[in-house]
């Protein structure tokens, strides 16, 4: 396995939990825009016995993504890709959300789809927020899934409907799922698989900030309505990701898995006002 490579975009809690399950005995390449986060995660994982390389990367740039691809290829056969990178609508502009979360993820799927090794698998961490949109028309679904990447941001469905960063985030995450399905067709030609996971509220540093912020009380009421009575953990997302990236998940590709403690079901079919009013994205 020493010639096998796992690539992680996004040096955060969910990504780290996933690679701890799938990167042992393999070369692990960490990519993030924040060099301090890269250094910190490299230290944690190196001390835990992993073989780690890092590269500064900008998910909104095709040039930068291609540099990550080249670096990964220099380390061996690319057997795994985990995209846990992105920006939050509470911390980024409409334009940044679309450029990173929608365009960047689409480029990542495209470029890595050209180089994945046979038997390889990838995971895109999307969000429950993409499931908060009403059903789109078949025409819009097809456009978001199939439009050439460099033309994506000019689609009428985005120009007309995206008026703020939250809407940008919702459309980006819906598009992530659609692009995963569409790109999986191309990945299959290489004998590789790609799936998406749409987490609900997961205890990450960003979530802690939200819980301690002005909407914290609403979140806590929302948790009380859930079967778990609590938010999720990165390890719970990683449990599913491990299955999807393992040979045990060999029959699964082009799919999206909503893992949110039942909150989306409550949003559409329940009567919990905190769910509708919280503005929770992840």
Is the pLDDT assigned to residue 12 strictly greater than 90? yes
Note the pLDDT tens digit of each residue in 166-175. 999 999 999 9
For residue 2, what pLDDT band results from cuts at 50, 70 and 90? confident
CB contact set of 39 (below 8 Å; sequence gap of 6+): 54
Q: Residues 38-57: what's their mean pLDDT? A: 97
173 as an active site residue: the answer is yes
Phi-psi label, residue 27: left if phi above 0, alpha if psi -120 to 50, beta otherwise: beta
Q: In the predicted model, what is the mean pLDDT of the chain? A: 93
Residue among 103, 169, 171, 219 flagged as catalytic: 169
Domain segments of the chain: what residues? 4-203+232-262
pLDDT band at 41 (very low <50, low <70, confident <90, very high): very high
Cβ-contact 256, 126 below 8 angstroms: yes
The DSSP result for the chain, as a single string, is -TTEEEEEES-SHHHHHHHHHH-TTSEEEEEES-HHHHHHHHHHHHHTT-EEEEEE--TT-HHHHHHHHHHHHHHSEEEEEEE-----TTTS-HHHHIIIIIIIHHHHHHHHHTTPPTT-EEEEE--GGGGGSPPPPHHHHHHHHHS-GGGGGG-HHHHHH--SHHHHHHHHHHHHHHHHHHHHHHHHHTT-EEEEEEE-SB-SHHHHHHHTSTTHHHHHHHHHHSSSSS-B-HHHHHHHHHHHHSGGGTT--S-EEEESTTHHHHHHHS--HHHHHS----
When the candidates are 1.10.3720.10, 3.60.20.10, 3.40.50.720, 3.30.420.40, the CATH number that belongs to 4-203+232-262 is 3.40.50.720
pLDDT digits (tens, 9 = 90+) for 99-123: 999 999 999 999 999 999 999 999 9
**Region 239-264: what's the mean pLDDT?**
96
Does the pLDDT at position 276 exceed 60? no
Confidence of residue 279 (pLDDT cuts 50, 70, 90): very low
The pLDDT of 42-67, averaged and rounded, is 98
Look at residue 172 in the predicted model and tell me its pLDDT: 97
- Residue 281's pLDDT is what? 43
Clarify whether 42 is annotated catalytic. Answer: no
Catalytic residue among 103, 173, 267, 282: 173
pLDDT at 280: 44
Confidence of residue 1 (pLDDT cuts 50, 70, 90): low
- For residue 249 the two structure tokens come to 């998940």
């Amino acid at each position: 396995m020493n010639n096998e490579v796992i690539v992680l975009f996004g040096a955060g809690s969910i990504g780290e939990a996933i690679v701890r399950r799938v990167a042992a005995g393999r070369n692990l390449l960490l990519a993030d825009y924040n060099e301090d986060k890269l250094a910190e995660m490299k230290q944690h994982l190196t001390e835990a016995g992993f073989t780690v390389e890092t590269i500064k990367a900008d998910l909104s740039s095709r040039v930068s993504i291609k540099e990550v691809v080249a670096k990964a290829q220099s380390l061996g056969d690319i057997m795994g890709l985990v995209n846990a990178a992105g920006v939050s609508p509470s911390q980024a502009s409409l334009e940044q959300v679309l450029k990173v979360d929608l365009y960047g993820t689409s480029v990542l799927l495209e470029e890595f789809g050209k180089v994945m090794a046979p038997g390889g698998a990838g995971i895109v961490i999307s969000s429950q927020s993409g499931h908060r949109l009403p059903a789109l028309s078949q025409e819009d679904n097809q456009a978001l899934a199939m439009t050439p990447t460099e033309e994506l941001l000019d689609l009428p469905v985005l120009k007309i409907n995206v008026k703020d960063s939250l809407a940008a985030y919702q459309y980006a995450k819906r598009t992530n799922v659609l692009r995963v399905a569409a790109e999986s067709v191309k990945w299959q030609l290489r004998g590789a698989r790609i799936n998406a996971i749409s987490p609900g509220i997961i205890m990450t540093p960003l979530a802690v900030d939200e819980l301690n912020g002005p909407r914290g009380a609403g979140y806590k009421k929302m948790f009380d309505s859930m079967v778990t009575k609590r938010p999720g953990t990165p390890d719970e997302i990683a449990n599913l990701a491990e299955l999807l990236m393992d040979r045990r998940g060999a029959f699964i590709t082009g799919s999206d898995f909503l893992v949110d403690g039942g909150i989306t079901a409550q949003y559409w079919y329940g009567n919990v006002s905190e769910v509708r009013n919280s503005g929770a994205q992840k």
